[in-house]
């Protein structure tokens, strides 16, 4: 499927090109074809979009989770409450899509979910043997993508923002 801005991707290829101009280690983005870049951005958007976001969708018919209404969060860097308009897609979401797309390009077959198998496993003196070069475990969504989104995800869901306390 071709990339359609705000329908299946939060960003256009041209925006991603601008982002990656100053991004170190972006060789896989630069080497990718235009079609592969579109596919990476669409897939990255799908992976990012499936979160429990703050606020609610502006319309029940919108294709993506953003834009949203009733969205605000405390930004510790600015030391103030930040509110998003009902037409705004936060820059953090766009950056997450860029980084997720790069991660997909850097890790061929990441979504194939192949597992690593071992040729032999020993218990005495613990030994593992993997001579066939199976896929190593790589996170589908790395921390460079998740960290900037934490303040946009509802507290207490997806393992983010939960506050633990203990009564004495």
Q: What is the mean pLDDT of each successive set of 10 residues along the chain, which is 168 residues long? A: 93 98 95 97 96 94 96 87 94 97 89 59 65 62 90 70 49
pLDDT at residue number 134? 53
Evaluate the CA torsion angle 93, 101, 25, 131 in order and state its sign.
positive
**Domain extents for the chain?**
13-112+137-152
Mean pLDDT score of the chain = 85
pLDDT at residue number 85? 94
Share of the chain above pLDDT 70, in %: 78
CA distance 20 to 135: 27
The CA dihedral of 140, 67, 148, 74, to the nearest 10 degrees, is -150
pLDDT at residue number 128? 60
């Amino acid at each position: 499927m071709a990339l359609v801005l705000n329908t299946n991707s939060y960003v256009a290829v041209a925006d991603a090109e601008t982002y990656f101009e100053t991004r170190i280690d972006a060789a896989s983005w630069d080497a990718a074809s235009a079609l592969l870049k579109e596919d990476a951005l669409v897939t990255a958007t799908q992976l990012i979009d499936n979160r429990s976001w703050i606020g609610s969708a502006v319309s029940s018919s919108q294709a993506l989770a953003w834009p949203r209404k009733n969205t605000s969060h405390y930004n510790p860097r600015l030391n103030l409450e930040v509110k998003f308009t009902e037409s705004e897609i936060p820059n953090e979401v766009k950056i997450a899509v860029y980084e997720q797309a790069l991660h997909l390009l850097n890790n061929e077959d990441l979504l194939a979910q192949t597992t690593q198998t071992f040729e032999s496993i020993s218990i005495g003196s613990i030994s593992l043997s993997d001579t066939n070069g199976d896929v190593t475990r790589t996170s589908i969504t790395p921390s460079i993508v998740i960290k900037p989104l934490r303040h946009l995800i509802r507290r207490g869901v997806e393992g983010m923002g939960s506050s633990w306390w203990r009564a004495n």
